């Protein structure tokens, strides 16, 4: 049974989706919607298939020199095993509000390469990295 | 295909007349839950985020509301089926 | 009773936390050259920051998200990126200036050259950011900053010509100056009162502390009582400089001079207290600007941020903070004069102000985030009026800097 969903109708891609914060059911931040993926079928029907998170799609969307710089930064972090931007199937989007809530926990996704690299090489090595300081 | 490839592009009508630039894409949920693209918000001029002032819910301060209205007058929704992304002269 | 204590604590923290190196430099330089003729600018600036700080606090308490976080959603990725670049660079400059202020305070206390203190000060700032609870950070340095009230005390102890000071409040520039330098220093004072990082920090801090609608009253009291009283401390700095330096036609260009009136009035004890005050104000501000640098970048990209999660969970945020502190220290190690650095950070802040404040006004009007707590007509009138002032200041800043040769 599909979970109860709340999505505006009509759903505006630029206004409701792009650049909105995405959070998981626990409230953990996934990132912001950097681009939206569509699928066009043979009849010309265009449907939303996924939300994309990543510096590369963001940089490409922004364009200009600054945009190129942002996507270049992401590109350099890519390793061979990294499949590219974080892709969240649109079916997993539960609520579209001032934040977009998805149904999958953040732990189910790969840690973004930049975060992983910084955590393993720098931040994670400093004593006290595991303690939250509320 | 990505949203970024559509947004900001020039939209033409079926006869090839320029309608303006695509500022937003409107989708509606079908019976199977998927959201299908049904219309585009087209502006003759500036494309930007429109500061969100075209929706209800934000209309103050008055000065900025007026400024946004002036910058983005002429924005209208056009059914996706009536839109072409290339003008006939480009073929 | 406990609530009263909490509120009082909040106000005191806000007062002590208001002054930073920009206020110290701008107010003492203006006081030395213009007496109290520019005091009205500080008042205007304080009202402005109150108006916008209240908006930012309200956004944090009602939408549960910091105001900068919402800018990308509201204005789009491109404009928000321009905002980010401007805000980040300005806050980085300010961070450098604040670390410089810490080093100068330590130099005053020890006679060890300030450059030798820079790496230590930067490291201390970062360690405190890494280890100390957010609330304790704010509390401790805010309360310690209250020692700057010693400027006001000194004012009453020195041979102050109150009549002269009073007559200056409504005068134009003195014979030794002209309208260009008057305008330049007015802009510096205004920028010192309305620095962008204040608003980002306040808003993100509110979310870090889990503010809800119930905290709106406390937040407003902190802003409307705490900030004006903090502004009074700034004016104390200006007035002391006016009493000591203006009659001698000496201009102020070092922190040692800024603190001199207190030393003259209250001797060694006074000097010790004021050095502690300068240290607390600059160290506290360095913490705030360091965190703000992290907040702006992390919130633009949607990364995890803040001290509520373990650093391992917010590696990108903490890397930005660490890198910013290092860059700030590096800036100082180029041996640029910290006071000059502060002056430049103020002028460039002035230029970037519209970029940072316009989005706040827009977000504060959005019912999707604030529901029924959006700006009323009066707040919008004030907000728009200040936006116009900010725009004028931003346009005039660089030309005036060039015309006056940065205030010569």
Neighbours of chain A (3+ CB pairs under 8 A): B, C
Best mutation site among C365, C373, C375, C388 for testing chain B: the one with the most B CBs within 10 Å? C365
pLDDT score for C363: 87
What pLDDT shows up at residue B48? 55
Q: How confident is the model at residue A74 (pLDDT cuts 50, 70, 90)?
A: confident
pLDDT above 50: residue C315: yes
Q: Within an 8 Å CB–CB cutoff, is residue C3 touching chain A?
A: no
Asked whether the predicted pLDDT for residue C364 surpasses 60, the reply is: yes
Q: Which residue has the higher pLDDT, A74 or C179?
A: C179
How does pLDDT run across C350-361, given as a tens digit for each residue? 999 998 898 889
pLDDT at B49 exceeding the cut of 80: no
What does the pLDDT average to over C175-204? Answer: 90
pLDDT class for B60, splitting at 50, 70, 90? low
Q: Classify residue C215 by its DSSP letter.
A: G
- Residues in A touching C368 (Cβ below 8 Å): 98
Closest chain B residue by Cα to residue C372:
B57
What pLDDT does C366 receive?
85
C16 vs B62, more confident: C16
Beta carbon pairs, B and C, within 8 Å: 40
Render pLDDT for C195-251 as a digit per residue (tens, 0 to 9): 888 888 999 989 988 899 998 988 899 899 999 999 999 999 999 999 999 888 888
Q: What is the pLDDT of residue A9?
A: 78
What pLDDT is recorded for position B91? 46
* Proportion of chain A above pLDDT 90, given as a percent: 35
Q: Quote the minimal CA–CA distance from A122 to chain B in Å.
A: 34
The phi, psi pair for A56, rounded to 5°, reads -65, -55
| Mean residue pLDDT across chain B | 77
Q: What is the pTM of this model?
A: 0.90
Lowest-confidence pick of B17-26, B32-41, C124-133, C164-173 = C164-173
Give me the mean pLDDT over the C4-30 stretch. 88
pLDDT score, position B47: 56
DSSP letter string over C27-93? HHHHHHHHTTTTHHHHHHHHHHHHHHHHHHHHHHHHHSS-HHHHHHHHH-HHHHHHHHHHHHHHHHH
State yes or no: pLDDT of A1 exceeds 50: no
Instruction: Between A79 and C402, name the one with better pLDDT.
Output: C402
The CA distance from C79 to the nearest CA of chain A, in Å, is 10
What pLDDT is attached to residue C22? 94
Region C191-198: what's the mean pLDDT? 91
Long-range contacts of A54-59 (CB under 8 A, 24+ apart): A54/A84, A54/A85, A54/A86, A54/A112, A55/A114, A55/C301, A56/A84, A56/A85, A57/A85, A57/B2, A57/B4, A58/A34, A58/C77, A58/C301
Q: How many residues does chain B have?
A: 91
Cβ contacts below 8 Å, chain A against chain C, sum to 91
pLDDT band at A7 (very low <50, low <70, confident <90, very high): confident
- Nearest chain A residue to C369 by CA: give it: A98
Q: Which chain B residues touch C374 with a CB distance below 8 Å?
A: 58, 60
CB proximity A47 to C under 8 Å: no
Confidence of residue B59 (pLDDT cuts 50, 70, 90): low
ipTM for the predicted complex: 0.90
pLDDT mean over C360-382: 88
A101 CB within 8 Å of a chain C CB: no
Residues of B in contact with A13 (CB under 8 A): 3, 7, 24-27
- Upstream peptide bond of C214 is cis (omega within 30 degrees of 0): no
Any long-range contacts for A60-65 (C-beta under 8 Å, 24+ apart)? Answer: A60/A35, A60/B4, A61/A34, A61/A35, A61/B4, A61/C77, A62/C77, A62/C78, A62/C81, A64/C78
């Amino acid at each position: 049974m599909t979970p109860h969903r709340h999505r505006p109708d009509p759903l505006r891609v630029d206004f409701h989706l792009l650049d909105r914060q995405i959070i998981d059911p626990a409230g953990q931040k996934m990132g912001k919607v950097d681009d939206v993926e569509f699928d066009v079928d043979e009849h010309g029907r265009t449907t939303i298939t996924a939300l994309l998170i990543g510096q590369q799609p963001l940089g490409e969307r922004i364009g200009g020199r600054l945009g190129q710089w942002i996507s270049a930064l992401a590109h350099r972090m890519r390793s061979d095993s990294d499949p590219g931007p974080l892709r969240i199937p649109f079916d997993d989007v539960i609520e579209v509000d001032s934040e977009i809530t998805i149904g999958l926990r953040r732990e189910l996704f790969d840690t973004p390469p930049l975060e992983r690299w910084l955590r393993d090489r720098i931040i994670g090595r400093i004593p006290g990295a595991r303690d939250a300081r509320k | 295909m990505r949203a970024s490839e559509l947004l900001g592009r020039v939209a033409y009508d079926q006869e090839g007349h320029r309608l303006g630039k695509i500022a937003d894409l409107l989708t509606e949920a079908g019976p199977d839950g998927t959201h299908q693209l049904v219309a585009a918000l087209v502006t003759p001029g500036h494309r930007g985020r429109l500061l969100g002032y075209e929706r209800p819910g934000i209309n103050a301060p008055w000065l900025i509301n007026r400024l946004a209205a002036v910058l983005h007058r002429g924005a209208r929704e056009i059914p996706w089926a009536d839109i072409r992304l290339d003008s006939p002269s480009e073929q | 009773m406990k609530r009263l204590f909490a509120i009082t604590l909040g106000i005191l923290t806000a007062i002590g936390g208001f002054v930073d190196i920009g206020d110290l430099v701008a107010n003492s330089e203006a006081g030395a050259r213009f007496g109290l003729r520019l005091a009205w600018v500080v008042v205007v600036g304080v009202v402005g920051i109150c108006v916008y700080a209240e908006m930012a606090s309200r956004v944090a308490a009602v939408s549960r998200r910091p105001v900068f976080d919402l800018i990308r959603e509201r204005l789009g990725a491109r404009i928000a990126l321009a905002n980010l670049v401007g805000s980040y660079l300005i806050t980085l400059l300010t961070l450098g200036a604040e670390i410089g202020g810490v080093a100068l305070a330590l130099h005053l206390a020890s006679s060890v050259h300030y450059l030798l203190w820079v790496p230590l000060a930067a490291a201390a700032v970062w360690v405190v950011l890494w280890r100390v609870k957010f609330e304790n950070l704010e509390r401790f340095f805010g309360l310690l900053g209250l020692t700057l009230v010693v400027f006001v005390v000194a004012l009453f102890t020195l041979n102050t010509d109150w009549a002269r000071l009073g007559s200056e409040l409504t005068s134009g520039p003195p014979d030794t100056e002209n309208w260009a330098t008057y305008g330049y220093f007015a802009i510096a004072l205004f920028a010192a009162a309305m620095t962008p990082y204040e608003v980002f920090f306040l808003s993100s801090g509110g979310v870090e502390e889990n503010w809800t609608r119930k905290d709106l009253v406390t937040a407003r009291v902190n802003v409307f009582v705490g900030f004006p009283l903090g502004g009074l401390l700034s004016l104390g700095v200006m007035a002391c400089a006016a009493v000591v330096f203006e009659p001698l036609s000496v201009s102020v260009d070092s922190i040692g001079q800024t603190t001199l009136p207190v030393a003259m009035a209250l001797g060694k004890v006074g000097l010790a207290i004021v050095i502690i005050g300068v240290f607390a104000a600059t160290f506290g501000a360095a913490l705030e600007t360091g965190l703000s640098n992290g907040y702006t970048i992390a919130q633009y990209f949607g990364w995890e941020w803040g001290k509520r999660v373990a650093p391992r969970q917010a590696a990108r945020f903490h890397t930005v903070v660490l890198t910013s502190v290092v860059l700030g220290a590096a800036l100082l190690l180029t041996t640029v004069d910290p006071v000059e650095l502060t002056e430049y950070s103020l002028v460039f802040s002035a230029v970037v102000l519209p970029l940072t404040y316009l989005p706040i006004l827009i977000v504060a009007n959005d019912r999707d985030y604030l529901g029924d707590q959006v700006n009323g007509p009066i707040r919008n009138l004030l907000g728009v009026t200040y936006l116009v002032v900010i725009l004028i200041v931003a346009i005039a800043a660089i030309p005036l800097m060039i015309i006056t040769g940065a205030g010569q």
